[in-house]
Amino acid sequence: MNFYALINRENKYSFSPLMAASKGRIKPLGGERPKAGDAVLLSFMSPDWKRAWRELKELPRGTIKVAGGAHPSGLPLHALDMGFDYAFCGEGEEQIVSLLDFLEGKAEPPPCLWSRDFKGSPCRGVEIEKFPPFEEHLPIPIEITRGCPFLCSYCQTPRLFGRRMRHRSAENIAFWVGKLVARGIRDIRFITPNGLGYGGRGGAQPEKVLALLRLLKERYPEARLYFGSFPSEFRPEHITLPLLKALRPLLANRRIIFGAQSGSPEVLRALRRGHSVEDVIRATENSIKASFRPEVDFIFGLPFDDENQNLRLMKKLAEMGARIHAHYFLPLPSTHLALYRPRPLSSAFLGEVERLTGSGQLFGRWKRQRELSEELYRLNLSYSASHIGKNDERYEEENNCGTPAS
Ligand code: SF4
C-alpha cells in the first residue's frame, strides 16, 4: 500500500513535518497516479475546502481518502460528507504512524480519527522538539513555538493546538538552522504565533528571544534571520523600543508585522485580544523609531464591528508610516465566532479603504475573503447542531486555561 500526500502551497507547512514524522512512508503525489487500495492524504484550511473537494473528486475510485488540517479538525463531519473516508483531527506527529498502520490493517485507529463508524477527539500537546520541523526535501520555516494562551474569538490556533505554548530549545533550533544553511538556504524564517513570547507562557521574553537570535547569528553568520514578519508575527504590547533596537542588527527583515484587528476598545475586548488600541499606536511608533516598517493587521466585517473607530485608527497609523494589512472576517469552524454572521461594509467605509489602497497605505486579499465569508458562515450553521461550539469547554478543561502569564 502506498501513502501519498497531495501537497500544494497552502498545505506544505502541515505536510512537511508530518512526512518527516512518518519516516519516509508518506510520499508526495507528484506525477504518480495512485491506484485502488493506495491512501491519499489531503490537508486543508477552511477557505480552501472547495479546492480540496475538486482534488478529491479527481482521485481514482478505490483510493482511501484521508482529510487533515484545520478545516477537518474543526468540522470532521463536513470532511466525511465531502467524500473523505477518514478525518484526522488535531496535531499529527505523534499519531501519523498509527494512522498509516491502521490503514494497512495492522493497528487500531488512532484516537483522533473520525469515520462514519467512529468518532475521535483532536490530538494535541505534541512536544515539537521531539520531531523534525521539516522533511528534508520539503524545507519550510522552522516551527519554534506551538500553541497560544490567548483565545482571540476568531482564531483557530488555540483550538487546534491548545493554549499551552511549547517551544523548541535554542540548541534544537540551531541544529535545524544548521541543516538549512548546509543546504545553501540562507534566508531563515520561523513559525510561531507569538514571536516575542518565545520561551515563555505568553508574556514577552526579550532575554530569551535575544539569546536565541544571538546564538544563531554567532553559529551561522551567513544566515539571514527573518523574525517578526510572516510567519513569526509579534504582539503589539510586546514591542518596546529597546527590544527593537537590540533586534535590528540581528534581523534581515525591515518589516515588523503585528495585529490591531480593530480600532475599538470594546471590540478588542469582545475579541479577547488582550491588548489595547494604545498598545498598537505605541508599537507603531516604536517600530518606526527603530527603523522598521510596521504592517498592522485589521479585520473588516466583524459581526460587532465599529467602522468609524477602525477608520480613525487605520488613518492615524498610516499617517505615522505604517501599512495596513486588511483581512475580512472568516467565521472559522470551532472558533467562538463560527456562528456569527459577517457584517457588510458601508459604502463610506469602502470609499475610504479604496483611497488608502490607492495611496499604497493599505493592502491585502480582503475582497477575496469577503466572498468566502458568508459561505463559511452558512456551512458552519448547517453543522452547528453536530459539532461547532462543543469543543471550547473541552479545550479549556484540557488545557487548564488561565490568564496568560509570562
Ligand atoms: S494571539 Fe494570535 S495566535 Fe493567539 S489566539 Fe490571538 S490571533 Fe490566534
141 lines ligand 1 (CB under 6 A): no
Write down the number of H helices and E strands in the chain: 15, 15
Residue 241's alpha-carbon distances to 24, 116, 334, in angstroms, are 45, 54, 37
Ligand 1 pocket member 157 (CB < 6 A)? yes
Is residue 191 helix, strand or coil? strand
- Nearest Cα to 156, choosing from 326, 393, 332? 332
Distance separating the N- and C-terminal Cα atoms of the chain: 48
- Nearest CA to 143 out of 183, 99, 193, 107 is that of 193
Model pTM score: 0.93
- Residue 150 near ligand 1, beta carbon < 6 Å: yes
pLDDT, block means (10 residues), the chain with 406 residues:
94 96 93 92 96 95 96 95 96 96 96 94 92 96 97 94 96 98 97 98 97 98 97 98 98 98 96 97 98 98 94 98 98 92 96 98 97 94 67 42 33
Tell how far the Cα of 280 is from the centroid of ligand 1, in angstroms: 15
- Please tell me the distance between residue 20's alpha carbon and the centre of ligand 1 in angstroms: 27
Question: How crowded is residue 249: how many other Cβ atoms within 10 Å of its Cβ?
Answer: 8
Distance (Å, rounded) from C-alpha 296 to C-alpha 310?
A: 12
Q: Is there a contact between 89 and 73 (Cβ–Cβ < 8 Å)?
A: yes
Q: Which three cell numbers stand for residue 28?
A: 508526495
Does any ligand 1 atom lie closer than 6 A to the CB of residue 155? yes
For the CA of 272, the closest atom of ligand 1 is 6
Q: Please tell me if the CB atom of residue 158 comes closer than 6 angstroms to any atom of ligand 1.
A: yes
How far apart are the C-alpha atoms of 325 and 25, rounded to whole Å? 40
| Ligand 1 pocket mutation pick from 150, 232, 337, 396 by most atoms within 8 angstroms of CB | 150
Cα 360 from Cα 186, distance rounded (Å): 30
Structure confidence at residue 384 (pLDDT): 80
Q: Distance between CA atoms of 20 and 93, rounded to whole angstroms?
A: 9
Angle at 355 between CA 351 and CA 356, to 5 degrees: 120
pLDDT given at position 388: 45
C-alpha to C-alpha distance for 93 and 100, rounded to whole angstroms: 12
Nearest ligand 1 atom to the CA of 158 is 5
CA-proximal residue: ligand 1, atom 2 (nearest): 193
Whole-angstrom distance, CA of residue 52 vs CA of residue 68: 11
Q: How far apart are CA 391 and CA 404, in angstroms?
A: 20
- Reduced to 3 states, what is the DSSP secondary structure of residue 256? strand
Tell how far CA 316 is from the center of its chain.
28
- CA–CA separation, 128 vs 86, rounded Å? 25
For residue 105, the Cα-to-chain-centroid distance in whole angstroms is: 33
Return the SS3 of 49. helix
| Closest atom, ligand 1, to C-alpha of 261 | 7
Cell matching residue 92: 499529527
User: Which residue's CA is minimally distant from atom 1 of ligand 1?
Assistant: 150
CA of residue 326 to ligand 1 center, whole Å: 16
230 CA distance to ligand 1 middle (Å): 14
Torsion, Cα 334 336 341 346, to 10 degrees, reads -130
Query: Ligand 1: which of 148, 163, 196, 325 to mutate, judged by most atoms within 8 Å of the beta carbon?
Result: 148
C-alpha–C-alpha distance, residues 231 and 14, integer Å: 13
Q: Is 152 in the pocket of ligand 1 (CB under 6 A)?
A: yes
3-state secondary structure of 324: strand
Pick the atom of ligand 1 nearest to 156's CA.
8
Distance of CA 210 to the CA centre of its chain: 24
Round the CA-based radius of gyration of the chain to a whole number and report it: 21
- Domains plus CATH for the chain? 3-114 (3.40.50.2300), 141-398 (3.20.20.70)
CA distance 392 to 96: 25
Nearest C-alpha to atom 6 of ligand 1 is from which residue?
152
Residue entry with cell 502569564? 405
Distance CA 24, CA 91 (A): 18
The Cα–Cα gap between 394 and 316 comes to 41
Read off the DSSP letter of residue 199.
Answer: T
